[in-house]
Structure 1
Amino acid sequence: MDQGGVPRAGDQSREEARAEARLTAARLSGEGVVALALTWVDNAGIARVKGVPLRRLAEAAVEGVGMSPVFDVFLVDDTITTSRYLGGPDGDLRLFPALDRAVPLAAQPGWAFAPADRYRQDGLPHPACQRRFAARMVERAAERGLSFRAAFETEWIVRRADEDGLPTDGLPTDGPAYGLHRVTDCSDYLRDLLLALEAQGLTVQQIHPEYSAGQFEVSVAARDALGAADDAVLVRATIRGVSARHGLRASFAPAFEPGGVGNGGHLHLSAWREDRNLLAGQALTRDGEAFLAGVLRELPALLALGAPSPASYLRLVPSHWAGCFQCWGVENREAALRLVQGPDEQANVEVKCFDQAANPYLAVGGVIAAGLAGLDAEAVLPEPVQGDPALLPPERQPARLPTGLDETLTAFRASTVLRDALGDVLFEAVAAVRAAENAAYGGQPSGAVIAATRWRY
């Protein structure tokens, strides 16, 4: 904080922040941008926003943009709970845009996207800032000589929208799962999506139809862990924008219809020391094994970050490739942790039990924290599971992960690893939101839960 008491963005001085903002504003203005969407993701997994005119970017970068800390206890339906530390009308925070991540939104002309970090009025980081939490875990790993490459898969389901933009029951395609028919029917839509993502600097690895009717998946290239979470927010915003321009409405909800296969949000992550991928090779390195063992041990608690909605547990069912058993396996799509082998630079672990109700910053930060705890404990993996765990004899079946948010909340509250990593303020805010959403929706029939959440994520 400078002598005037105004918080600064990161380690920059006011002058440095102002200079960077002016350069960013000039760049964005040259691409037709007139407003910047400063985004953060709350503990219910909803991306929230404050917009500023581009002409005010320098002021926003130096002074920040005001917002209430009460957003940390918003629920998915916009009702508000309280936690031990947060809630009520008092207090204020400052949003600072990450200018190095500012990018014009190709499907929303005139607008640009920038993730935001949240600071207190005295210039210190807000202890419940989810993006800063992910950054802290990356920094904690760097102290041990570790870095990460990460990416989130994005699955979504589209339906036709009416003239008011509201979703209907109309399908844009009746093509079969994974079928070329579906790509043919939606070729203009998918082409425009690819063009928009690439225009925003994202490298698309693949795009394809998924299992459910009207469902698609896109994967972008891995990058640093914090950047991967930023990309997850940007990809979804882009899908929404392109969908709207094609008269469609996109849903990223974990469960879209009773009995159906919902949308996953699988996290892929590899851990590196210097130039060596700890998860590569036919035999895991000792540190690679300890990292994965730490994640596996914390999975029941990690679901509070990666599968946080009452709707998440309608997706986490056996024999649906959702990863509902607490086990790992080599290339096993039924295991909660799937070890993906291949060229050394591409080997990674896929956390299959996560979905897109998750705040991606909490998800990636929590996985890193759990893995580091495994390293500290020199944890050891059990034997990998082959085949569908649900078909194994009962005595050989691994433990089921929690089957409801109430079980997950119990595991989360008992996790000293995640409390230490998140800090009391953020930990209690997450727990309060989970408890309130479980109270509101946990006892409702699946159809009611789906109807309440289908178009929120």
Structure 2
Amino acid sequence: MGTRAAEQHEEARQSAARLEAEGVRNVALTWVDNAGVTRVKTIPAQRLAAAAERGVGMSPVFDVFTSDDAITESEHLGGPDGDLRLIPDLDRVTVLAAQPGWAWAPADRYDQLGRPHPACQRQFARRMVERAAAAGLELRMGFETEWVVTRAPDGTHPAATGPDETFDYPCAGPAYGMTRVVELSDYLRDVTEALAVQGLDVLQLHPEYAPGQFEVTTAAADPVRAADDVVLVRETVRAVSVRHGLRASFAPSFVAGQVGNGCHLHLGLYRDGSSLHRTPDASWGLAPDAVAFLGGVLNALPALLAIGCPSPASYLRLQPSHWAGVYQCWGVENREAALRLITGAPDDPDGGHAEVKTFDAAANPYLAVGAVLAAGLHGIETAAQLPAPHAGDPGTLGVRERARRGIVRLPATLTEAADRLEKSAPLYEAMGEVLHGAVLAVRRAEEAHFADCEPEEIAAATRWRW
């Protein structure tokens, strides 16, 4: 056994011993598939060291699972053959506050010979972080997590499913109202406490616009950790909800025609520890590399929608004048722009960053951070620029005025977004043929499955998948 292998073995052994001492009996190893569903294999805590060394077996077919658990295929993936190894990230092993006796760890995927699986989304995100570092850039990212909570069926009177499903919301207060916090103060306290115990820095939690809707924001981190964090946030909210007799949904469209759940991605750029959003005398405070990076993201948004808005349900949420960012434009503190520049207070060291408004929680967060990184780095390579920022709601402008200003609608269907992803050479190069092909195969299968469905049917079919 080499020195590094021996160190990893000892680290894994100590992690397993610590978990057992804390009463942990099982560890959930998670990965997120291309439909955005968090999948899992669990192991006894005493098996953690063995899993870290040799992995846990899983089929490559999960890369072509759709949101309804159907299986499609791509040129490289599909069918019953093959095996991969799930390797837990020991640095992220977390004792779960709302699931006594359980811990969690995100996993990377390798083949039987120890080579990185080319469709592993978490390793794709890590490669993009390394590519940014090679260019002298550091990225800090964070997600806003929105969800709708209802009372769970009590078992004696199970709720109907489908378009006629009705909901028993546990709060009746107005949007953003303190009344909702009073009505669910015990539940919201337990959510924030569980997140804090698990090492997540909660910045804010508040009621949102739709009935029963809330949002929690956690502190920014390096992109891979940010993706890990949002997975942990969702599953913690879900677990706390269950303990309170509630049910949480992160679906893009909980009820067709209402405001849906977003999962906005925030990002800040740094070089040598200094923010590139705080450059004196520069337009909007942006250093040239920040302008080029954000220009690359803005240019790539039509293709990025197939990553960050991966379900037909996503396009029920993407409606004009709903703060979802459906037009390909950017603005300074403009919540209707697809790309929002947040200036922050002048004396705020964490102020000054950007927000991608369009994304939702059906997205695989590792794909989301990796693809945004790839688009931004391509912007730097090609010296992309930002057009003039837009103020106000583009949806209130006439078609001719939007055309005059160069503001176009982002894809309004998953089919259109997938077509743009298929033609995106920068994203194809960054993701690689295997991952790019698997993502497209899942998108095409989702399109076909819901092609003849009404909005209410799409929302009902996907309501409890995320």
Aligned equivalent of 1:194, options 185, 192, 195: 192
Asked if 2 retains the 8 angstrom alpha-carbon contact of 1:28 and 1:103, the reply is no
Between 338-347 and 52-61, the greater mean CA deviation after superposition: 338-347
Match of 1:305 among 294, 304, 307: 307
Does residue 417 of structure 1 match 2:422?
A: no
What TM-score comes out, normalization by structure 1 length? 0.96
- Residue aligning to 1:440: 449
- 1:451 equivalent to 2:460? Answer yes
Shift in Å, 1:344: 4.7
CA distance in 2, matches of 1:70, 1:156: 29
CA distance in 2: counterparts of 1:392 and 1:279, whole angstroms: 30
1:124 aligns with 2:87: no
More moved, 13-22 vs 269-278: 13-22
Of the candidates 313, 316, 332, which is equivalent to residue 318 of structure 2?
316
Distance 1:128 1:213 in 2: 38
Q: Which amino acid aligns with 2:187?
A: Y
Residue 388 (structure 1) aligned to one of 346, 370, 393? 393
Which of 337, 356, 359 aligns to 1:354? It is 359
Name the count of aligned residue pairs: 448
Give how far 1:147 is off: 0.8
User: What is the alpha-carbon distance in structure 2 between the residues aligned to residue 102 and residue 224 of structure 1?
Assistant: 17
* C-alpha contact (below 8 Å) 1:146/1:272 kept by paired residues: yes
Aligned residue number for residue 154 of structure 1? 145
| 2:217 is aligned with 1:219 | yes
User: Does the 8 Å contact 1:280/1:344 carry over to 2?
Assistant: no
**Residue among 234, 242, 245 paired with 1:244:** 242
Give the % identical residues: 60
CA shift at 1:279, angstroms?
2.3
Instruction: Indicate if the aligned counterparts of 1:299 and 1:326 stay in contact, CA closer than 8 A.
Output: yes
Q: Is the contact made by 1:280 and 1:348 (CA closer than 8 Å) also made in structure 2?
A: no
Q: Which string of whole-angstrom CA distances, capped at 9 and with x for unpartnered residues, describes residues 205-253 of structure 1?
A: 0000000000000000111111000000000000000000000000000
Per-residue CA deviations over 1:37-86 (Å, capped at 9, x if unaligned) read 00000000000000000111111111100000000000000000000100
Distance 1:164 1:270 in 2: 46
Structure 2 equivalent of residue 49 of structure 1:
40
Tell which deviates more after alignment, 254-263 or 277-286.
277-286
Return the alpha-carbon distance in structure 2 between the equivalents of residues 280 and 109 of structure 1: 44
**Cα distance, 1:195–1:344 mapped onto 2, change above 3 Å:** closer
Contact 2:176 2:209 (C-alpha < 8 Å) held by counterparts: yes
The answer as to whether partners of 2:20 and 2:46 remain within 8 angstroms in 1 is no
Structure 1 position 134, deviation (Å): 0.2
Worse-matched range after superposition: 280-289 or 290-299:
280-289
Q: 1:15 aligns with which of 3, 6, 28?
A: 6
Q: Tell me, what secondary structure is at the counterpart of 1:173? A: coil
Let me know the Cα RMSD of the aligned residues. Answer: 1.3
1:37 aligned partner: 28
**CA–CA separation in structure 1 for the residues paired with 2:350 and 2:382:** 26
Specify the alignment match of 2:163 in structure 1: none
Task: Give deviations 1:160-188, integer Å, cap 9, x for gaps.
Answer: 01234966621101110000000000000
Normalising by structure 2, report the TM-score. 0.94
- Which residue in 1 is equivalent to 2:368? 363
CA offsets 1:120-146 (integer angstroms, 9 cap, x no match): 111100000000000000000000001
Shift in Å at residue 32 of structure 1?
A: 1.4
Q: Residues 94-141 of structure 1, C-alpha deviation per residue, up to 9 Å, x if partnerless?
A: 000001000011000001010000001111000000000000000000
Gaps of 5+ in 1: 4-11
How far is the alpha carbon of 1:442 from its aligned partner? 3.3
How far apart, CA to CA, are the structure 2 residues paired with 1:407 and 1:400? Answer: 11
State how far apart, in whole Å, the 2-side matches of 1:300 and 1:422 are.
17
Distance in 2 between residues matched to 1:35 and 1:350, nearest whole Å: 37
2:339 to 337, 344, 369: 337
Amino acid at match of 2:445: A
The DSSP-based 3-state class of the residue aligned with 2:350 is helix
Q: Please give the alpha-carbon distance, in whole angstroms, between the structure 1 residues aligned to 2:456 and 2:36.
A: 21
Aligned amino acid, residue 75 of structure 1: T
Distance 1:360 1:67 in 2: 21
2:389 aligned with 1:378, yes or no? no
Q: Structure 1 CA distance, aligned partners of 2:401 and 2:378?
A: 27
Taking the aligned partners of 2:349 and 2:400, their CA distance within structure 1 comes to 35
Q: What is the rounded CA distance, in whole Å, between the counterparts of 2:460 and 2:128 in structure 1?
A: 35
Contact 1:294–1:371 (8 Å) recurs in 2:
yes
- 2:4 & 2:66 partners in 1: Cα distance? 36
What are structure 2's unaligned runs of at least 5 residues? 160-165
SS of aligned partner of 1:345: coil
